[in-house]
Structures are given as structure tokens and as C-alpha cells.
Structure 1
Amino acid sequence: MVALTEIRTHNASLTSLAPNLVAIFVGGTSGIGLSTAREFVRNTTSPHIYLVGRNATEAARIIPEFHSLNPSSKVEFIKSDVSLLRNADDVCRQIAQKEKKVNLLFMTMGYFTTKGKRDETEEGLDRKLALHYYSRMRFVHSLSPLLSAAGNDPDPKANLSRVVSVLDSRTGRSASLDFDDLSLKRNFGLKSAAHHACGMNSFALEYFAKQHPHTSYIHASPQAVMTNAAREMGPVYQAVLKVAATLMKPFFVDLGESGERHLFAATAPRFAPLARGDEVEGVARGSDEVMGSGSYAVNWDDEVWGESTKAAEQRKAGAVDKIWRHTEEVFGKIFGSEGKY
């Protein structure tokens, strides 16, 4: 575990970076996304923050709070249901019209459900998989030019370029994937959906790390925190979860600390992009087991996970290329004449 004192010392040092860093928090109006955005605002100079989500009421409360934390900050809210990939693309277009670079893309959007069957969006994807995988990768894909522009900035104080997907990096390293049914149209289940989303996140980020060597990519685990992830569940489920959360509170990580730790993951030099991995003392081992490879599987405590035999086997079987070919096929159908996968 990285000590909290080290976390806070590092985060406080971010004021030495160039001003006007641009950060996008998808799912940023609650939970870990909000707490990390808050720490980014607190610790950087004149940051430009985009909060992407569905809760305009909550955003209206957050924006004044962020301005009070850092009067030099600029905060914008984009209302969108990003379970639809077309909406995710529209968000990216809005940002690209205003920005020449993006320093941080931080994604926590999700869908908590107990349904054991597919809940299809109008684009033909299961809603849970759409939010946990496909929409996230569409954001990464669409914003890659702006992320690369930041990563190639000649000023070392301005070239932060990082993608963080908060889901479950440990499961991502042990998941069994059905390469013949990655979207789970034929064999859907809650466990398989969780495994596929986590595993696909990890391998897709490895793909991006090689394609865009000046950006680093992190699949992070959140640990248990108090959030409103069950807000779409019925009152009975919410009541049960509230009781369970009370009983399990000693095992939870404080939401504020979680934000501090995720900001560390989103900015610490040890998680360097591939192009600069050799330059960083103490660079972390990548998710592909290569030091400084630009893609990292990080636990909630900011330590990388140990080696994974399962992940190595699937990587050897071509997981990275198979998953990205499938993802491109999904993108092609949804953004093509069919409009649906």
C-alpha cells in the first residue's frame, strides 16, 4: 500500500504543473468520479473540468463548490446518457470543438442491476456492458487525438496524458473470456458480464498503450466506498444495501481518501506512458508484465497487482487483438448504416 502521506505529498505537488490542465470526468457527479474531480480541482492551477453525467441538479450544486475550492478553476457540465455510444461521441465532439488537448480522461460510469438477463439499449448492446466497456472505449478512441496532443507537449510540466477506467482490475486479470461471444448476446449472465467487462477493459487498454505511446492507461479497482450506485434500484434493494453498508462500514474506504488515491493513480510518474517508461525511476510494472509499458492494473491502494497466469494465457491466445477487432466491429455497425450491433 502506498502511504496516504506519500499520496498527499504528491497530490500537493501538482500545483507545480502547467496551468489550464483539461480533465474529463465521465460519471463525475457522484461517488469516486466526483471525489477524484474534487481533488483534481483542489490540487491544480486553473484546471478546466468537464463533468459528464445525467444529474444536472447535482452538477448545479457541484460547480459552485469547485469554484469555492479553487476560484481559478473552470467547470462545465455536459448532460448525457452515455450508455448510448452515439451520445458518447456527441460529448467528445462538444469537447473537441473547445479544446486542443485533454490531459485526463477519468471514467467511472456504471449500471448496478440484479437482472440476470440482457437489458438491451437501442444500439443492441447490453446496458451494463455498454457502460462498463463499450462506451468507455468509445471515449478513449474518440479523444485519443486530444490525449496524444497533450502527451506530445514539449513542456514536461504540461504533457500529462492519462486515461483511468475505474472498474475491477483484479477481475480483469483473472476473467475467463468467451472470444466467440464477447458481447454476450447468446450466453449472458451477471457474472459473465462482469468478467467480460473487466477483462476487456484491461486488454483494450493494453492495445491503446501500444498505439498511443505518449498516453498512459490505467484500469483501477475502487475498493468498497459509500456511493449512490444503487440509485436506480427499487426501494427494497436500496434499504437492504443501506443496512449492509452500515454493517460493512469498517471495511470501506473513505470516499475522500478514495479520491486522493485515484488522483495519485491519475498523475503519479510511476505510471508513465510507454514512450517515457525508461526515463522514470521506480516505474511500475505494466499489466502485460513489462516495466513501464504504459498500461497498468492498479489496486485501490495504488499498488499494481501481481503477475497473472490467466491473463498471460489469454494474452498469448491473442486476447488484445481479438477484443479490439470485436470492438471495432461493434463501432462499425453502430456508427454505420445499420445503426445497431
Structure 2
Amino acid sequence: MVSLQTVQAHNATLKSLAPGLVAVFVGGTSGISLSTALALARHTSSPKIYLIGRSQSAADSAIASMKSINPSVQPTFLQSDISLLKNVDSVCAEIAAKEKKLNLLFMTPGYMTLKGRDETAEGLDRKFSLHYYARMRFISNLLPLLITAAQEDPSSDSANTRLSRVVSVLDPHVAVRAGGSGTLDFSDLSLKNTFSLQKCGAHASLMGDFFLEGMAQRHRHTSFLHTYPSGVATGVMRELPGGGVLAAVLKPLLRAFMVPIQESGERHLFAATSGRYPPKAEGEGMEGDVAVGSDGTKGSGSYWVSWDGEVFPENKKLGKTREEGAVEKVVQHTDEVFKQVCEEGKTYP
């Protein structure tokens, strides 16, 4: 376990970074994403923080909190329903028009539901889109800015130690929790024909795992993390019938087993900035405290990280799925979805 003291000590060093670190928080007006954005505002100088969400009032409150912590923060709210990939493209185009680089892409969008398959106008399930497709579309669209940050001259006044990182918060191991199979249905990756909520959760997690591995292999100067937050008091239950009442009842009962929201923000800022999780180009052969990557290789550039900063141990079920060509098949499928929906304007079949 990475102690909270170690996390706090690292985060305190971020003041030494040059001003102007650029970060995008998808789902950034509440929960873990907002708590991490607030931690970034607390520990850095004049950061440029983009919050992406649906609620203007929540964004106004978030921005007020940021400015009370750090008057030099430069926040921007982009309002959008990013369950539609066309909206993801629009938001990314706005960011690309304003920024030349991006140091951190941090993503938490999603929700709990009791519905079955809930198709968007693009032919994708809404929950699946938020947990997987929209997140990976943000990565694909914003990679040029992440690459620019990774190539920044470290001697320049604006350099931020070439920080270039993607963090997707969900759960790398949900597919094997409680005895799950850890497998993918390669014949129906989008679950168009075999959807269930349990299968959707497993697919979103696993596909995120392997897509990030593929990105780390292709883009050796950016690191990619899939993190498990453990139990944190957020608004994730708000769309369930009676979710607000249920959350109010459960919160005091589960408090002893949950990570406080501010601690979660500090820990996720550590995950988002620590040299413990280097990109592949730097991690290969690197000595010292370097995490083992998701493929079992130290410093591989792709990391499956638990709430306490430690990486998940090797899992035979997930290893077998990888051996079945999961990285290549998931990346190929995702590229096909993006081509049909985003480039050709079609509904995914």
C-alpha cells in the first residue's frame, strides 16, 4: 500500500512544476473526478482545468470551489451529453482549438441503472458508451495534444516534466470479481445481441483494460492507467429509482469501509502524476520504485491500479483472454465503431 503520507508528500512537490499544466476531467463536476480536479488545483500553479459534464449549476459550484482553493486556477466548463460520440468529438474539437498540449486526461463518466439495453441514436448502449466507447473516443481525439505534452522541451519555461497521462476510473478486475470468467464475447463485443447489465460491466472493464494496453504499446511516451477507486461516496446511484434515499441510508453504514472523497482525490492525483507509473519509453529498464504494468512487464506504460496505489497482481483468467488476441481484437472493434459512427455518421449495426 502506498501510504497516504507518501501520497501527500508527492502531491506537495507538484508546486515545483511550471505554471500552466493542462488537464481535462470528463465527468468533472462531481465525485472522484471533481475531488481530483480540486486536488490538482490545490497542489499546482495556475493549472488550466477543463470540466466536462451535463450540469451548469454543478459546474458553477465546482469552479467556485476551485477558485477558493487557488485563485490562479483557469477553469473552463464544457457542457455536453457525452453518451453520444458525436458530442465527444465536438467537445474535443473545442479543446483542441484552445490548447496545443494536454498533460492529463482523467475520466470517470458512468452511472448505475436497472434498465436493460438502452440504445442511443448511435446504436450503442448508453451505459456501455459512457463506461467505454466515449472514454476511448476522448483518448483517440486528444492523443495529438498528449503527444505534444510528452515531447515538450524539459528546459523550456513552460515544461511540466513531459507529463502525458490518461487515467480511466472504473475497475480493471470487475470481470473476475466474485468468480467471474474474465472473458470477452469476441463475436458480440458491443453486446448488440447478448446484452445484460452484468455482461456490460465485464465488457466495459475488460475492453478498457486491453484498449489502454494497446495505446501504451503504440504511444510509448504517454502512460495509461485504469484505476479501481474502491468505495467512495459519489453520486453514482442518482439515476436509480430511490437512489438518493438508498445512498443516504447506506452511507453511514458503510463509512468505515469507504475511502473519504478528499483522500480519493489526493490518491488519484498521485496516480495521475507520480513517476511510479511511467510511459513505456521511460519505464523500460528504469530502476527504483516503478510499477509493474498490466502485461506483467515493469514500466510497460499501461497499469491496472487499485485504490491504494498498488497494481493488481497477475490474473490467469485475464492473461488467457490477452493470449486470445484481446488487445488487437478490442482495438480493431473500437476503431470500426468510431469509423462507422463518427466518420461515416451511421448507426452502429
TM-score of Structure 1 vs Structure 2, range by shorter chain: over 0.9
The reply to whether residue 168 of structure 1 matches residue 135 of structure 2 is: no
User: 1:27-38 to 2 correspondence within 5 Å?
Assistant: 27-38=27-38
Classify the secondary structure of the residue corresponding to 2:205.
helix
Cα offset, 1:241, TM superposition: 3.4
d(CA) in 1 for partners of 2:62, 2:346: 35
d(CA) in 1 for partners of 2:287, 2:88: 34
The reply to whether residue 274 of structure 1 matches residue 277 of structure 2 is: no
The reply to whether residue 188 of structure 1 matches residue 179 of structure 2 is: no
The 3 A distance-change label for structure 1 pair 65 and 244 is: closer
User: 1:136-147 to 2 correspondence within 5 Å?
Assistant: 136-147=135-146
d(CA) in 1 for partners of 2:96, 2:345: 26
1:246 match: 252
Cα offset, 1:310, TM superposition: 1.2
User: 1:66-81 to 2 correspondence within 5 Å?
Assistant: 66-81=66-81
Classify the secondary structure of the residue corresponding to 2:98.
coil
1:323 match: 330
d(CA) in 1 for partners of 2:342, 2:68: 41
2:24 match: 24
Q: What is the identity, as a one-letter code, of the residue corresponding to 1:129?
A: F
Contact 1:172 1:200 in 2 (8 A): no
Deviations 1:211-265 (A, max 9, x none): 111100000001111111122222x343233212321121111000000000000
Contact 1:172 1:201 in 2 (8 A): no
Q: What is the identity, as a one-letter code, of the residue corresponding to 1:314?
A: T
Cα offset, 1:61, TM superposition: 1.4
Deviations 1:263-313 (A, max 9, x none): 000011010000100345221100011110000000011100101111211
1:214 match: 221
Q: What is the identity, as a one-letter code, of the residue corresponding to 2:246?
A: V
d(CA) in 2 for partners of 1:287, 1:41: 30
Contact 1:16 1:157 in 2 (8 A): no
TM superposition score normalised by structure 2: 0.95
d(CA) in 2 for partners of 1:280, 1:163: 23
Classify the secondary structure of the residue corresponding to 1:164.
strand
Q: What is the identity, as a one-letter code, of the residue corresponding to 2:335?
A: E
Q: What is the identity, as a one-letter code, of the residue corresponding to 1:261?
A: R
d(CA) in 2 for partners of 1:280, 1:302: 18
Q: What is the identity, as a one-letter code, of the residue corresponding to 1:327?
A: T
1:105 match: 105
The 3 A distance-change label for structure 1 pair 141 and 280 is: farther
Q: Percent identity?
A: 51
d(CA) in 2 for partners of 1:239, 1:176: 35
1:42 match: 42
Deviations 1:120-156 (A, max 9, x none): 0100000111000000000000000000110111217
Classify the secondary structure of the residue corresponding to 1:169.
coil
Contact 1:33 1:106 in 2 (8 A): yes
The reply to whether residue 200 of structure 1 matches residue 207 of structure 2 is: yes
Contact 1:175 1:198 in 2 (8 A): no
Gap runs ≥5 in structure 2:
none
Cα offset, 1:338, TM superposition: 4.5
Gap runs ≥5 in structure 1:
none
The 3 A distance-change label for structure 1 pair 80 and 305 is: same
Cα offset, 1:19, TM superposition: 1.3
Contact 2:209 2:226 in 1 (8 A): yes
Cα offset, 1:18, TM superposition: 1.9
Which residue among 287, 292, 308 is the counterpart of 2:315?
308
User: 1:140-155 to 2 correspondence within 5 Å?
Assistant: 140-155=139-154
Classify the secondary structure of the residue corresponding to 1:184.
coil
Q: Which deviates the most, 2-11 or 305-314? A: 305-314
1:130 match: 129
TM superposition score normalised by structure 1: 0.97
Which residue among 297, 300, 311 is the counterpart of 1:293?
300
d(CA) in 2 for partners of 1:2, 1:119: 39
Classify the secondary structure of the residue corresponding to 1:135.
helix
Q: What is the identity, as a one-letter code, of the residue corresponding to 1:276?
A: E
1:159 match: 162
d(CA) in 2 for partners of 1:280, 1:206: 22
Classify the secondary structure of the residue corresponding to 1:248.
helix
The size of the alignment, in residue pairs, is 339
Contact 2:26 2:107 in 1 (8 A): yes
d(CA) in 1 for partners of 2:77, 2:109: 15
Contact 2:286 2:299 in 1 (8 A): no
CA RMSD across the alignment? 1.3
Contact 1:203 1:323 in 2 (8 A): yes
d(CA) in 2 for partners of 1:112, 1:171: 14
